[in-house]
A = this chain, B = another copy of it.
Amino acid sequence: MRLPGVPERPGTGSASADWSGVRARLHDGGLRWTPQRRTLIDVLAATDGHVTGAELVERCRAIDPTTTPSTVYRTLDVLEDLGVVRHHHGPDGREEFHVLPEREHGHLHCRACGRSWEVGAAEVAPMLEALRRHRGFEADISHMALVGRCGDCVAADDRAAGGD
């Protein structure tokens, strides 16, 4: 029973999602609902797109200054088991989390300009399908992060180097 004065700000937060369900799913697994976990869920609900682990710790501390990194990272592990978040690693190996991805996707990171893009499952499916057929290997698309140079940076380099 939602009060009229407290709109849920639909469209904000990731996917206007079933955060309510998380508590129930924790209980179903014999896990617990704690103040620390609620803090992190609040942060995640207000987050869109990709965010680093360190950034999540910082945002939790903004709500509750007593927040401890180990608790946040352990809770993120739990939430990933639940499928609520997914992580991959940036070019330097640091963790990046995606909250409730609507569609499964991999990641592209440009070393030159630092920007990143999502790449839909369909776009990489042929290769992953080939890996499964040839080797039986089932790759985790969400964890995939390709590093390289984006079109803009390649063009810029070409202009600087070979240009006539």
Name A residues whose Cβ lies closer than 8 Å to a Cβ of B. Answer: 89, 91, 93-95, 108, 110-111, 117, 119, 123-124, 126-127, 130-131, 134-140, 143-144, 146-152, 154-155
Contact = CB atoms under 8 A, between A and B. Distances in A.
Number of identical monomers bound together in the oligomeric complex: 2
B147 A140 contact: yes
Max chain B Cβ within 10 angstroms of own Cβ: one of A95, A123, A124, A137: A137
Max chain B Cβ within 10 angstroms of own Cβ: one of A111, A126, A146: A146
Nearest to A106: B146
Given A93-B93, A131-B108, A154-B136, A146 B149 contact: no
Contact of A136 (B119, B123, B124, B155): B155
A151 B139 contact: no
A117 to B, nearest CB: 7
